[in-house]
Amino acid sequence: MNQEHGGAAPAPGAPATGGAPGATGGPGRRAAGGGAETGGPGRGGESGAGGGLLLVNGRFLTPGREEGADWLLISDGRIQDLGVGTPPPATDAVDLGGRLVVPGFVDAHCHGGAGHSVYTGDPDDVRAAAAGHLAHGTTSMLASVATIDPAAMEAAVRAIATVIDDGSAPNLVGIHFEGPFLSPERRGAQTPTALRSPCADTLERLLAAAGGHAVSMTLAPELPGALTFIREHAGELVLCLGHTDSSSDTFQQATDLGARAVTHLFNAMPPLHHRRPGPVATALLDPRLVCELILDGHHVADDAVRIAHRLAGADRLMLVSDAMPAAGMDDGTYRFADREVTVTDGVAQLRGTSTLAGSTLFVAEAFRRAARDLGLPLTDAVQMAATTAARLLGLTDRGTLRVGLRADLVELDDELSPAHVWLAGQRQTAATGAIRASPDSRRTGFR
């Protein structure tokens, strides 16, 4: 099913020639930290060391196994050991009551939540949005800055960088630029007057504002200069193809030059056609591309997701929220940056239009829909909600439950919703259902 391009294809999300996200923490950013890769869970008592925090009576989903361990030992924020049978001694223990435990979710595309946008230029909005997603199990996320006025876009990036630098949003790990190098014909909710053709100067200003925290960028490969831009900058950022009117041939060229991901597959691009297969076909067939999916039941039909899963597999699909401020909030009108968005029955649209303007989703909800509603294997749903994105973004110390990796965990209730969230071994306050608050209760004005 996969196209061949001569020689062995690199793993999905691996860099083109040059960069090495898995080894360096992703192109253009500091390493997230490595972790020892060991085999499956061990037998009881293997660690042989006292101390640490022991989680018992859980069902820990380890790679390839739906119930691979029943205890897990945390030390210094990392998984020291995990296994079945009699656990090792520990200073403290927590009984999980038989709950299923999965890795913390990783969101590579998020614009806001809990009533706040990440690109208003206000660091407090960034902190509040990230906290809302953490409470729903997203232990690692990128703040996605949409295409707005260039000066406002740079100010938003600086505010996000400030929050990452001061550590006040511990689940915020980097910045995603959604634009401004996007197709006017497929711009979606992006600000039309702010769209640009690829330009090194614009990129340099954004990178300077990001202060070393830029991780990824979405661009349309058919724009003038885009292919050259991809060749020159694929080693600096994870380049994602999206908001595009590209042909399949141009999409393929961009992939050959170093693009490694596809932004919200099926959305803001030409649909699959039997005589003009377009970017969707290339995205699904090329083993080098990782594809985002917005699994909210509105952006993509369930059967389209099943087709993508059958063709690309869980290791090339990642569930993203693409969330705007209304994630976790009531229906209503939301004003932020230069946008006014109406949310009706959880569907966000630019006011007065039928144009989707992000989602009101958390990755936890996408995970639950994948496993429960679409019937995908739990191990695949976990890979799509955590492992694939962590690998693509160079977060080599998280995304799966393995000895030596960060103890980022989500305890799930019987409905596969987050009951408790653990960030680097520390139990957080998890949301119990949606954050129910009216948009009118927030500060007024363009948030």
Q: Which two tokens stand for residue 230?
A: 């991809």
Q: What is the CA radius of gyration of the chain?
A: 21
322 catalytically annotated: yes
Within 8 A by CB and 6+ apart from 190, the residues are 146, 147, 178, 179, 180, 182, 243
State how far the Cα of 82 lies from the Cα of 44, in Å rounded to an integer. Answer: 8
Among 70, 125, 296, 322, the active-site one is 322
Query: Pseudo-torsion of CA 385, 363, 237, 10, nearest 10°?
Result: 20
Q: Which of 168, 107, 162, 103 is nearest to 140 (CA)?
A: 107
Please return the burial class of 437, using the count of CB atoms within 10 Å of its CB with bins 0-12, 13-18 and 19+. middle
Write out the catalytic residue numbers.
322
